[in-house]
Structures are given as structure tokens and as C-alpha cells.
A and B are shown apart, each in its own frame.
Chain A
């Protein structure tokens, strides 16, 4: 940085080029496959040079999967998840690092435990929870026979059980995926590195905790928030199983589901070229997000690196 190190520079560039190449070889093949015809795709070995069917395949993929609507859904859902997760996690991490209260560590471990059970294992009960979000309330009503109680008190038949279905809705797509510990863990790590002098000074100045949070902690966390937002957006964008289960309307489906529906089944013509061009299509919005978000990334870091 201060001195000249041409050898190290060249070496670093080499590493980066090798890294980028290694990392992008699979993507390159996705691209090449997406430019071939059905015939060429079935040839073995596959050509290394791209064909000329890119736009045609992209058009086919777009039309077959009706990607316009699917992209919109994916965008809404991913944005919702990102916003929800980050907001909830910032607050929880703040509570767990800056406040002393009983069960503090228990709370942190409870949150952490949510990383340890993949959604596939609990998919059926989670679906039941989404199909009727009022299930716990209903269970309480049944267990305590509250309806019987209501009958005795008021003399009338009252239905106290609720039916709040989140199936085929944006909330159903977003809420169950908002529960997560990664962001809380990350922000906890970061908050622990924030110098104590800052909160000392804030308390001395008479600032309330939330003021400290808004005015000091959040701006400091900007680069971590951006990094986490990128990760979470990409993660949500690629969610398959939960959206598959909780939607039956084509109009509520997400982009990755549309992508998987194009996967050739064993008994039909293997249209890998359509699938791969659809993959590229589905890759485009996240990559755009990555590129755009990098600007805030750098900006945030320059500010805090003074």
C-alpha cells in the first residue's frame, strides 16, 4: 500500500485471476450450454465454444416459465426477507450484547439453535403453521376448552378458533424464512468489536439506548449490513423447497421454482439448453444486486476506515 511491490502485485493479480477463472468455469459452461441447440446439447463431448442460440433459448425459457411474474415475486419475497431478517437481527443482537438481563445467553443460544435444524426436516409442521398461523391459539382454546367457558359465561355459541392461512401469500413466503440466526450472530460479533468508549460517552451524554442504536451503532454497522444483505438476498433468491410447498398458484411462484420446473424429466427430451439459459436469466438479478451493492460496500468502508 505505501511501498511498491511489483512482484507481490503480479502474484496477487495472478491469484485473483486464477481464483476468478476457477470460480467461473462452471458458469462459463452454463453459458455455453445456454447457447446451443437441442441437437448440440446432446453431443458428447460438449463444445467449449458458445453457439448462436443464446437469444432464442432465452426467449423460449422466458416464455415457457413465464418469468416476468416469477421475477417480481422473487424480488418481493427476497426483499421482504432481507429487510425482515436484518431488522429483527439487529435488534436482537443489540439486546444480547448491550443489555444485562436474566436468560441473556439462553436467548442467544435459543436463536442460535435455529441454524441447526434444516427446514426439510420440519417442513410438514412448518407448512401446518403457515396454513393456519393461529394454530397455537387454537390449541390453547381446545386445551383449556375456552369455547365451553365462553358458552357458560355468555350463554351463546362462540367460535374462538381462528383460521389465518398464509398459503399462496407473500407473508407465507416471507415469514417462515425470516427466523434465522446467521445475521444475529454476525451483528453480535460486530457489536462486540465496537469500542466501549462510544457507549460510555453516549450514556454520559444522556442518550437513550435507541438513540445510541440509531445514531451510532447503525452507521458503524453499515458495511456489515450491506454484506449481510447481499448474502441474504442471494440466499432467499435461491430458496426452493419452502416456496414450492407454500404456493400452488402459478402467479405466486418464484423464479427458482420456475427454473426447476424446466429441469428435464428422465422421460422426455433433455432440454438442457433451455434450462441453462433459464439459469442465466435467474442468475441475472442477484448478480445485478451484487454489482450495485458493492458501491455502498466500498462507500461504507471508506467512511469507517478513517
Chain B
């Protein structure tokens, strides 16, 4: 037994000493795209590597978004971090206050690449821009849309879902009462994104003060006042009346839709791949419903962006810039959009896909882009810049869930959610006093 241990130890030492020789500069990218998306990222890296010979992009899948962030922090503290890391959109302020990042705009300027930053789709640009500087390179962005089972709607006597919530509600109740399906709508797992944040953006109501946090320190959540309360009360009504189903763990809500059990689902446009692969019925998609008198602003994005970390040689940053340049190409964007279902982040890419007739074949893929570019963004639909929103969301969801399950009145649940959310904001400000 001791021998085994000894040989293991020496094998380890040997492996330590073997270093492959490298001609081109390697650039590591840590990301969180697992499953089929992992293959797409590898393909992307392949394309980039084949397009030039000075740099080699090496994507490393580091688990889920939380795993990636913790790996990055651990590695950064030990000075063993990669130059590029994928962080989801709500990590914006955390990355900004880290003091560890190089803004994308500066990186590209230094390397001499010309990027038309104003060509980026508005919600994407505003989310990641601060003081006119694009901090991160947008990578995978999406927005929620309404998928529906056309067969079910037809059987209940409707052509398609109505465009307003009250009318849709009537339709869903009809579907349920007529026995067309057991589940008219399934609640998505990331419902804070679609039912809270996007609702407030589309309805042009503030989610937090200080223009949803864009104006800096001192923002407070205010979603417990106004329309959002009514909206969540509506959701509670759906739940109590059996219209809405909670998927829980062990199965993706999208799967309940794909299996034909639930008639509608509000899900990310990136779920297209799964729906196309698995739905055996006539399905379709449409814009998110609005209220009757709604200004119908744009929806906001979800997904992640690529951040550049300090501490590497100039050579490496040239390579990073080259990769970002490649990523921003119309060709690459169109390929990424088609292969993954994420939206093209530049106007030019969108136009190109349209010109190729892509949306004639797959009209539902266009919905997300149109919804994101709808109208002029107001103060309430530019996105959210709230510190530690991942932490706040855990608390907010817990409280609102208690309201949905009838453990406390909905207004109180929303008030409690706001209270806990504000605590998180205050703590974030205390930790990062004076940084942003």
C-alpha cells in the first residue's frame, strides 16, 4: 500500500515537471456553459483558433455560474487566474467593484481594434456600460418570451394567446375549465427575471429607486408599490386555481411544456433549442403579455458577458482583444445566434440574419430581438444595477414564495422582500464604500 502511495506521489511530481512547449500564446477562458452549450463554446474557440495563428483560445468549463465566480476569486487571490471569465449579468457590480478588471473599451482601443460600440442592441449596451465605457464584452444574452402550445389554444377555441394579461388570463382559465390541459401555465425557475424584473421594465414601473440603481449609491427596492403587487397577486390566483403549476426540482419547467403537459411557459428565448428538439406538437411563441394600458417598453436581458481580468502580459491582452473582435464579427454573431438561440448582440448581425431569410424559416427566433429593441428604453427598462442582486434575489424569492404559498398576505410578502433586499444593498455599499 505504501508503494502505491509512493508511486502516486512520484507520478504527481513527474506530471508537475512536464510542461508542453507552446509557440502561440494561450488564452484561457473560464465559462459556465455545460451540456450542449459546452460543445458550442468549443466550436467557437475552434473557429477563432483556425482564423489566425498567433493566439490559441482555450475554453475551460468550470461548473455553473457560482462555481466559475468562486474559482475566479480563488484563482485571482492566488494570482493564477485566467484573462477572460464569463460572469452572469447580475454580477456586474461585483466585478466592477473588484478592482480586478480591464474595461472592454480600453482593451480594444489599446490593441487598435475598431469596434462600433453603438451598434450593440440598446438593452445589452446599457446593461454593461458605465460612464460611456463598455466594461465587459457581451457574450450570451437572451430575454424571456411566451411559448405556447398552438394545439391546446386551438382546441380551446383561440387562434393564439392574447397580448394583454387580463385577456390571456381569461384564455388560460378557459383552457383549464374545458379540460384541454391540466396545466395552463408552468412557472419558470428564474421567475424573478421574467415575472418581476422584465414585468417592471415592460410596464415602465420602477423596480428600485435611483433609476434602478444606475444613479449610484443609495438605491432602494420599490417593487412592493404599484403594479407588481397586483401582478404577483394574479400569479397567486393562478396558483390557487390550478392554472399555474410549479415545476420544482427534478424537472425543468420547459420540459413540462415540451412534453405537452403545460400549455404555456414564459421562458428564455434560448430555450428554443430544447423546444425544437423535443416538442411533438404545434408550438409557437409570441411577445410577453402586457397590461391593458401598458406603454410596452423593451424587455431586459439575461445571460452573461466576458470580463477581462488584470494581471497578465500585454501579449495576452492583444490576444483577448483579437478574440473579442472575432466575437463581434457579424459572421460569428450570426453563427452563435443560430447555433445557441441566444440573441445577436449587434444590430448589424441582426440585419444580416434577417437578410439571410433566417427569420422566415424560424419566425419565433426574431421575437426576442424585436422585443429587446422595442421603443426607446426608459429609465425603468435600461436594466438593473443593484449590488449583490444574486444575494438579494435569494431573499426576495423566498419572501414572495411565502406569499404565493399563502403563508402571508402578498403585500406583506412583497414588503418583507423589499426590506431584506434593501439590507443587502446597504451591506454592499458598506463593503464597497467609495468604489463606484
Interface residues of A (CB under 8 A from B): 38-39, 42-44, 64, 76, 79-80, 83-84, 86-87, 123-124, 127-128, 131-132, 165, 167, 169-171, 174, 241, 244-245, 248, 250, 252, 260-271
Smallest Cβ distance from B31 to chain A, in angstroms? 11
Which residues from chain B contact A268 at a C-beta distance below 8 Å? Answer: 35-37, 270, 273-274, 340-341
* Contact indicator B5/A269 (Cβ below 8 Å): no
20 contacts across the A-B interface (CB closer than 8 A): A38-B277, A44-B260, A80-B5, A83-B2, A124-B73, A131-B78, A169-B16, A248-B28, A248-B62, A252-B15, A263-B35, A264-B36, A266-B190, A266-B268, A267-B142, A267-B340, A267-B342, A269-B35, A269-B36, A270-B278
Of residues 16 to 36 in B, which have CB atoms within 8 Å of A's CB atoms?
16, 28, 30, 32-36
Instruction: Select one of A44, A79, A131, A264 contacting B34, CB under 8 A.
Output: A264
Is there a chain A Cβ closer than 8 Å to B8's Cβ?
yes
B residues with a Cβ closer than 8 A to A are 1-2, 4-5, 8-9, 11-13, 15-16, 28, 30, 32-39, 60-63, 67, 70-71, 73-75, 77-80, 82, 140, 142, 189-190, 251-252, 254-256, 258-261, 268, 270-271, 273-274, 277-278, 280, 340-342
Residues of B within 8 A of A171 (CB): 9, 12-13, 16
The answer to whether A244 touches B63, judged by C-beta atoms less than 8 angstroms apart, is yes
Which residues from chain B contact A44 at a C-beta distance below 8 Å?
251, 255-256, 259-261
Interface-centre pick from B9, B78, B256 (highest chain A CB count, 10 A): B78
CB distance from B57 to the nearest CB of A (A): 14
B8 with A245: CB separation less than 8 A: no
Taking the closest CB of chain A, its distance from the CB of B21, in whole angstroms, is: 15
Contact indicator B12/A267 (Cβ below 8 Å): no
Nearest-CB residue, chain B, relative to A262: B35
Contacts A86-B1, A131-B80 aside, 10 further interface pairs with beta carbons under 8 A come to A38-B278, A43-B259, A79-B8, A80-B5, A123-B74, A167-B78, A260-B34, A267-B140, A269-B36, A270-B278
- Min CB distance B123 to A, Å, is 18
Decide if A269 touches B60 in the complex (CB within 8 Å).
no
Chain A residues positioned under 8 Å from B256 (CB to CB)? 44
- Distance between Cα atoms of A76 and B271 in the complex (Å): 39
User: Is the beta-carbon distance between B8 and A263 smaller than 8 angstroms?
Assistant: no
Nearest neighbor of A76 in chain B, beta-carbon distance:
B8
Are the C-beta atoms of A265 and B35 separated by less than 8 Å?
Answer: yes
CA distance A261 to B33 in the complex (A): 8
If A169-B12, A169-B15, A269-B274 touch, whether A123 touches B34 (CB-CB below 8 Å) is no
The answer for the CA separation of A252 and B60 in the assembled complex, in Å, is: 12
A contacts with B: majority SS: helix
A265 to B: closest C-beta gap in Å: 5
Instruction: Given the known inter-chain contacts A38-B277, A42-B278, A79-B4, please indicate yes or no for A261 contacting B61, CB distance below 8 A.
Output: yes
Chain A: minimal CB distance from B86 (Å): 12
Select which of B1, B78, B261 is within 8 A of A128 by beta carbon: B78
Verify A271–B35 contact, CB threshold 8 A. yes
| Docked pose: A42 CA to B262 CA in angstroms | 13
Residues of A within 8 A of B37 (CB): 265, 267-268
A220 to B92, CA, bound (A): 59
A171 to B75, CA, bound (A): 18
Alpha-carbon gap, A97 to B268, bound state (A): 60
> Are A80 and B38 within 8 A (Cβ)?
no
- Report the bound CA distance from A215 to B26 in whole Å: 55
Tell me which of A76, A167, A245, A266 has the highest count of chain B C-beta atoms within 10 A of its own C-beta.
Answer: A266
Inter-chain CA distance A42–B259, complex, in Å, is: 6
Complex Cα–Cα for A64 and B39 (A) = 9
| Cα–Cα, bound, A267→B1 (Å) | 47
Instruction: Give the distance to chain A from B367, nearest Cβ to Cβ, in Å.
Output: 16
Residues of chain A within 8 A (CB-CB) of B73 are 124
A271 to chain B, nearest CB (A): 6
Q: A270 with B60: in contact, given A42-B259, A244-B71, A265-B35 (CB under 8 Å)? A: no
Interface pair A265/B33, CB less than 8 Å apart? yes
Whether A83 contacts B252 in the complex (CB less than 8 A), given A245-B70, A261-B38, A271-B35, comes out as no
Chain A residues with CB below 8 A from B78, complex form: 127-128, 131-132, 167
